[in-house]
Structure 1
Amino acid sequence: MDRTKETSNLIKIYNQYKQGNMARGDFVKTVCNFFDLVKTDDLTPNELNLLLLLANEAGVPQYYDLLEKINRGLKNLDEDDCKLTTISSYLNDTSLVVNGQKLHKYQKEVLERFGPENNRFVLTAPTSFGKTFLVYQIIKKKGYNNILLIFPTLSLLSENFLKLQDDASFQEYNFHTLSEITEESFGEKNIFIFTPERYLSFLDNNDFHFDFAFMDEIYKIDNDFIIDSEEVTENERDTAYRLALEYLCRNSIDILLVGPYINFSNSHRTSFNNFANKNNFELLEYNDIEIVSKNVTKLNRNKFTLGTDTYRLEPGTNSNYAKISGIVTRITNQSENTLIYCKSKAEVERYAKELLKDENYLSLTKEKSVRNELFDIFLNHIKDKFGEDWVVYRALTNRIGVHHAGIPKYIQKEIIDLFNQGVLLCLFSTTTITEGVNTSAKNIIISSVKKGTKDLKQFDAKNIAGRAGRFSHHYSGNV
């Protein structure tokens, strides 16, 4: 990489952006990619001044914060190094700090839309936008008394319950996660954290109104987004979701509904737009703000690109199973974790079994051995309860995760946690990974353009690819 040339090109792009000749999303992506290129380089004070300026102009000062975490040799700017633009950047940086936590510019724009009244919004943004984090800031700003948070899965419900409990700002609230509760257990300030099904069950015994309500995965109200599944339970869940949303709109004052990659202008999406108009929602579209850049590459014969490097698979690697094993092994060798999307439960398990036969991968797991007492306890539990022949157990012993609807929920949750902690090196999954699960995956391999026997729609494909890279952990994700 010629850094001088890249820097010169970036300055030209910055000038185009300032003159209004470049879209904000394109500029954010360009800045993000530049940080990714130089993140481990030795950087001069002049370059650091420029990077600080660009991060703030892009509206994401966290890019510079991440640089300080990644680049151990980075020297902080002292007074002699600072320029007027640097001081301006620091002032802008400070303006984005709310309740002791830093937002990016686009989160703050949404936060500032919440005024004294008429606060009903539908927000669409990429998975890396930080939508749930934004919800916490809205609650802190407005100081609501009675709050309803609806998450699509129990794993997300649990994850957010723990986060809220650990945040000192929410200590004055009573938390409720079970539906079998009555008014006797309510306090002055309450946060109800439910799945759609639990919320409907709660309504059987309670006529309760909320000051603020939040609901994730709003695309579920429109059939155009949803691919019919072979599993009846998913259809039942979508119905429960829509019923819960209907009651939520009746029983709540301020509301924020969120989802990824929704195109509000699609003329075929009349049911969605009719819903928004009927319930007085304002639409907020940030689909162009991909905070974590995506590098998309296609496997060309037996070679693929990862970042700036090209890798070749072994000659004669012809089957998809062997190719996936080869890619996973090479990514693992780079000390990065990998999520592999598969079209069905059968494919998830077959790919995992094929990787278990790959001697190159198995030798890597021995080199990268891990000691984790809780992991050992978890393995022993699965062995005792399900037997050591179960593919999930055999995969886990070699640091491979398996995730699909046929696996008990509590095991799914532990597998995600182990993957995020780095205990598991890779994770094979169906679309269960896109339904209310947060991962720290740097890389995603899409092994099929199908979901079951049906084609993936563009929306689903974007949602899967959007899981590559995580804000504040990575500048970019590889797809």
Structure 2
Amino acid sequence: MYIFNQCKEINNHLDLNNEDKARNQLILLLDYMKSNSVEYSPIVNHLIRLTGLYPYINTDNAILEDRLIYDIFKVDTGSEEPLTLHREQSSLLKKLLDGKNLAISAPTSFGKSFVIDSFISIKKPSNILIIVPTIALTDEVRRRIYKKFSHEYKIITTADVELSDKNIFIFPQERAIGYIDVIKSLDLLVIDEFYKASFDFDKERSSTLQKVILKLGKKASQKYYLAPNIEKLNSNLFTEDMEFIPLTFNTVYLSRHDTYKDITPSSKNTKLIEILNQHKEKKTLIYAGTYTEINTVSELIKNSIPKSDSKKLKLFSKWLATNYEKDWDLTKVVRRGMGIHNGRLHRSLSQIQVKLFEDEGGLNNIVSTSSIIEGVNTSAQNVIVWKNKNGASRLNSFTYKNIIGRSGRMFKHFVGHVYLFDKPPVEDETQLTIEFPENSIPDVDEEEYKNDLTKEQISKIIEHKENMYNILGKEIYDKLIKENAFQSNRELIEKIALNMVEVPHSWNGLSYLNSSPKNWENPLYKAITIQAGWDTKHANFVYFTQILSLNWTKTIPELLLYLSKKSISIDLFFQLERNVTFKLAALLSDINILQKIIFRDKHIDISPFISKISHAFLPSVVYQLEEYGLPRMLSKKIHLAGVINFEAEELNIHSIINEFNEFGMEYIKEKVSTFDEFDLYILDYFYDGISNNVQA
């Protein structure tokens, strides 16, 4: 009787054209039926059809009309069997196949990736570029795309790769810059999380994404931009020829619990443990907001949750103790079923944790910063918002919706539970405005974009160009800009160039970077003082870079022993290594370009050193393989066993992946006797990501 009455109410909502309310109530009913092992009746299946949730139809108990809908909406998504799309996915796919340019706002659980995969399967384009916000998401998308399309396309995720006839490019905007002149045409440009082109949402990286949108957007026959929770897209240059479609179509129901109303500061910790124990067989994401709060939650878990009997977690903890640090928080909390996710960790380490979170007998909880909403599309039945913070700032309504949207997942959890331990932000309408940043020099031609720039911005660009013409010469500077040679913003480029002209003697010794680490001190000091934000004292950063040069020959515990002299912890190690490989490498690359022109008579070229630091002093393919889920420690064991010589200069990421596939996993296991049991678990995960055995 309960089910019948619910169906009656749902039907009434539909009669009143209140489809969102009807769909939410239906999802709750489906969850009830699943929990109580009740089969769908023809009436329930019909309501599923009427609300557009076609993939949820159970064809065994559906009337012919509804079974036909289930089959009609099946499409090729690159999987072994066609999959049924829901109504709104199908509508978007039709528009894409008709050649429309679309900017979409849709909930996290919408299933946007199926639309991209279907487009590739049906349209069979020659070149597609998918821009994602993080390297972690690059690997997740690569794994999905590789399984489905690597037999037909070259899947490119790293820099300086030779193109094939048909290519799918997947990377963050910074890597896309290097392909602006390489890619001649695109059939589809996909920008995931395109709101990050707005300075309001990403102050550090928005200008780079804007540049990619403008430069590569011109080469794209079609564009498909994706974001969540955008109610209104204001008119702007970057999406001017696109149809904006805001969708609220949800496939899961979010059940919100205002826990903060029932707790005090003294009972907050107890309540967290109570909820985790209540859901200990389910997956829970804990959004902590800051690194400090991650530490707080970690301490609480270590002291309040008993160790798990899981063999996988025992092995993982032991592996972390051996390869990283035995007293590290992560080493200890994984034994209690919890992982730690932040943007600092080694890429492979984050991937392993997400894999364990998805596995049975793996991690039940992950505590994170905002990296979990930007980095991966994992699914959890529960999300706990521990702190209404995003770093130093309070959460805004947009980010808050993004976080809670991680709860529930189509086909996995009909209902996602959200527990708020801090008062949420006031809900407001998110209007997206994408403009050139006011306080920086836009990296565009002032004539071409004169209608989109303010007078002040045009004036800044002209003044900057005149200054650079005086230093480098007009022809040289214009050529560098055309080639997208610089990685830093124009203000920093001008600052470096002026400094080289005004105090040239202070740049003496750059060539020492190509020599022994003991000679790096002065040139590194000079370089890092020109730019702020190295997360430690300059002396410590220089020392860290010198010690990091031992990265391939020493273990991480050995490196940490050296670094302990400067009180550099394992968590700081991760951040400083990122600073070396990204920030320092980019800075020195620009310095090298400028010094080769300004100090041309000295014939200095520090590109060998830049290449080394950009790979954290590891063989380049070893560093790149970490993005594919193979940690450096495993690569080193394979190297020392004589299976693959990772130091061979002719290796590139595609040749090495081919080599791994030719050898096969069993051969690698047989030849490398030093692998422990968790190494083998990781190797299996790595091979899963480089095989093209298609799964639905």
Matched, 1:407 2:388: no
Report matched runs for 1:219-234 at 5 Å: 219-224=195-200, 226=201
Aligned residue in 2 for 1:178: 158
Compared CA separation, residues 239 and 415, structure 1 to 2 (3 A): farther
Match of 1:371 among 311, 328, 335: 311
Aligned residue in 1 for 2:673: none
- Check the 8 A contact 2:75/2:83 in 1, yes or no: yes
Compared CA separation, residues 16 and 404, structure 1 to 2 (3 A): closer
Amino acid at match of 2:242: F
- Cα distance in structure 1, aligned partners of 2:31 and 2:37: 13
Deviation at 1:461, TM superposition (A): 0.7
- Please list every run of 5 or more consecutive structure 1 residues that lacks an aligned counterpart in the other structure: 69-75, 227-233, 304-315
Deviation at 1:351, TM superposition (A): 0.6
Aligned residue in 1 for 2:566: none
Superposed CA deviations along residues 248-300 of structure 1, whole A, max 9, x for unmatched, are 31221111000111111xxxx64xx313553x0011111x2121110001116
- Cα distance in structure 1, aligned partners of 2:375 and 2:216: 19
Compared CA separation, residues 106 and 217, structure 1 to 2 (3 A): same
- Check the 8 A contact 1:155/1:413 in 2, yes or no: yes
Deviation at 1:342, TM superposition (A): 0.9
Query: Which structure exhibits the higher relative contact order, with contacts defined as CA atoms closer than 8 Å and separated by 6 or more residues?
Result: 1
Deviation at 1:207, TM superposition (A): 4.5
SS, match of residue 336 in structure 2: coil
- Cα distance in structure 1, aligned partners of 2:182 and 2:310: 49
Deviation at 1:322, TM superposition (A): 2.9
- Cα distance in structure 2, aligned partners of 1:15 and 1:384: 61
- Cα distance in structure 2, aligned partners of 1:418 and 1:277: 39
Aligned residue in 2 for 1:33: 28
Deviation at 1:154, TM superposition (A): 1.6
- Cα distance in structure 2, aligned partners of 1:277 and 1:238: 15
Aligned residue in 1 for 2:10: 13
Compared CA separation, residues 171 and 418, structure 1 to 2 (3 A): same
Aligned residue in 1 for 2:244: 283
Matched, 1:446 2:418: no
SS, match of residue 244 in structure 2: strand
Task: Indicate the structure with greater strand content.
Answer: 1
Mean Cα displacement is larger for which, 186-195 or 103-112?
A: 186-195
Aligned residue in 2 for 1:324: 272
Superposed CA deviations along residues 115-152 of structure 1, whole A, max 9, x for unmatched, are 444x2110110000011121111122222111111111
SS, match of residue 144 in structure 1: coil
Matched, 1:386 2:324: yes
Aligned residue in 2 for 1:142: 123
- Cα distance in structure 1, aligned partners of 2:250 and 2:322: 44
Task: Indicate the structure with greater helix content.
Answer: 2
Identity of aligned residues (%): 24
- Check the 8 A contact 1:345/1:406 in 2, yes or no: no
Report matched runs for 1:46-445 at 5 Å: 48-65=41-58, 76-77=60-61, 86-99=63-76, 100-117=82-99, 119-167=100-148, 171-181=151-161, 185-203=162-180, 206-224=182-200, 226=201, 235-264=203-232, 270=234, 273-275=235-237, 278=240, 280-286=241-247, 288-299=248-259, 318-332=266-280, 335-358=281-304, 361-362=305-306, 365-366=307-308, 369-372=309-312, 378-422=316-360, 423-445=362-384
Compared CA separation, residues 12 and 324, structure 1 to 2 (3 A): closer
Deviation at 1:26, TM superposition (A): 2.1
- Check the 8 A contact 2:288/2:369 in 1, yes or no: yes
Deviation at 1:385, TM superposition (A): 3.4
Aligned residue in 2 for 1:73: none
Aligned residue in 1 for 2:19: 24
What is the number of residues matched between the two proteins?
412
- Cα distance in structure 2, aligned partners of 1:126 and 1:140: 24
Amino acid at match of 1:251: K
4+ runs deviating over 4 angstroms: 300-303, 375-378
Deviation at 1:96, TM superposition (A): 0.9
- Check the 8 A contact 1:295/1:477 in 2, yes or no: yes
Compared CA separation, residues 16 and 477, structure 1 to 2 (3 A): closer
Deviation at 1:478, TM superposition (A): 0.2
- Check the 8 A contact 2:383/2:407 in 1, yes or no: yes
- Cα distance in structure 2, aligned partners of 1:385 and 1:40: 42
Deviation at 1:357, TM superposition (A): 0.6
Compared CA separation, residues 194 and 61, structure 1 to 2 (3 A): same
Compared CA separation, residues 382 and 8, structure 1 to 2 (3 A): same
Which has more radius of gyration? 2
- Cα distance in structure 1, aligned partners of 2:37 and 2:356: 34
- Cα distance in structure 1, aligned partners of 2:36 and 2:269: 37
- Cα distance in structure 1, aligned partners of 2:275 and 2:13: 38
- Check the 8 A contact 1:121/1:257 in 2, yes or no: yes
Deviation at 1:5, TM superposition (A): 4.0
Compared CA separation, residues 449 and 317, structure 1 to 2 (3 A): closer
Amino acid at match of 2:253: S
- Cα distance in structure 2, aligned partners of 1:299 and 1:15: 32
Amino acid at match of 2:359: Q
**TM value normalised by structure 1:** 0.80
